[in-house]
A and B are shown apart, each in its own frame.
Chain A
Amino acid sequence: MFFSYLKSLNPVIGLTLNVFTQVISFRYIKLSLLKSLVLGFIIGLFFVFGADFYGHFAAVQSVEEFLSLSIVNFLTYSALGYCYAHFINLGEGARRIRIIRELYKSKTGLTLDELLKIYDGRQMVENRINRLIRSGQIILRNNRYFIGKPIMLFIARIILLMKLIVLGKRRGFE
């Protein structure tokens, strides 16, 4: 009975460990946001696999059952970890969340001009370009931008493909 529920809830416990590790490593150990997210994910993943192995030997499962449950738990944990990373990224980089935070701080609301003064699109572009240059995704040479490491480009192309499949958009980013 206990092992059945442990198997089911294993990825949730893994996610809790992930979140705890991420917050501690960012707040106290002062790791960068990305490194803290990676560390949290790895710690949680160790727990998920460890608990699966423990369940396998303690509950005497067949190898087939063990493998299928490990796949389910790995996918579940990875999906939850991905959502958490996205949540952190939203708080850090999303324009909508930044605008909401500015409106929350203002108490009496903000006009469009006031919002644009606080949150200038050009400054945001500058910040993002600098981030992309620092991470090597783009290169600035002779006042021209070039693609550096192809990771962001690869992600952008996957999103384009998904746009085509789901929304039927052929034009890509607008």
Chain B
Amino acid sequence: MRVLLWGCILFVLAFLFHIILWKIRLPKRQIRMLLLIFFGVLIIGILSLWSFPLPLKALGFSAPYTLAEYIHIALFFISLTLAYIVTYSAIEVDSPSMIMVMQIDNAGPDGLEKMAFAKTMTNDILVKARIKDLITAELTYMDGDKYKLTPKGVLLARIFIFYRKLMKNYSKGG
């Protein structure tokens, strides 16, 4: 019960802290800030539980006893955090499929005309905006008029290329 309780408490605390910060000011590099907040709360939380078990007991809460319980809480918290951050990327960057579905829904019972829909889907929205995101995330940079990958970008490309080879997935993707 302690793992479930403390895992949930720490996650809710981190989430609330993130929402409050976001209401004050939206960070420029949101994913990095999310990682800082969530892992910061986890480390401080675990250290507090480890250091002050008695005051918690006086308040009617029982701190974890064993190292295995602390590992369990950390794993539970980290998996929820990663799932949240993965979902957050869908909030941060609009998926074309979502835009399409919402546009069709907004058109109402008469549906959306094929040509009218095609006109709204421009390279400015679909490609150029994403290239700009890659520069902000320091995955690419401009060298004259050319876009090139930073070492971080090269690493990310290699991970995905390796995995596609592992699966023998030769579709173009995207």
Contacts and interface: CB of A to CB of B under 8 A. Distances in A.
A125 interface: yes
Contacts of A76: 75-76, 79-80
B22 interface: yes
A100 B134 contact: yes
B147 A109 contact: yes
Contacts of B153: 100, 103-104
A116 B88 contact: no
B113 to A, nearest CB: 6
Given A26-B167, A91-B173, A174-B94, A11 B130 contact: no
A61 to B, nearest CB: 11
Interface of B is mostly: helix
Nearest to B129: A95
Closest 7 CB pairs of A and B: A98-B174, A121-B126, A109-B146, A144-B111, A4-B68, A104-B157, A79-B83
B157 A168 contact: no
A172 B69 CA distance: 41
A147 B173 contact: no
Interface residues of B, number: 80
A146 interface: yes
Contact of B110 (A7, A75, A112, A144): A144
Interface stretch (B35-43, B45-53, B54-62, B99-107): B99-107
14 contacts: A9-B71, A72-B4, A87-B163, A92-B171, A96-B139, A98-B174, A100-B160, A109-B146, A112-B147, A121-B121, A122-B123, A131-B97, A144-B112, A152-B101
A88 to B, nearest CB: 8
Given A5-B71, A119-B127, A143-B113, A91 B66 contact: no
Interface of A: 1, 4-5, 7-9, 11-12, 23, 26-27, 33, 64-65, 68-69, 71-72, 75-77, 79-80, 82-83, 86-88, 90-101, 103-104, 108-112, 115-116, 119-122, 124-125, 127-129, 131-132, 137-138, 140-141, 143-147, 152-153, 155-156, 159-160, 162-163, 165-168, 172-174
A39 to B, nearest CB: 14
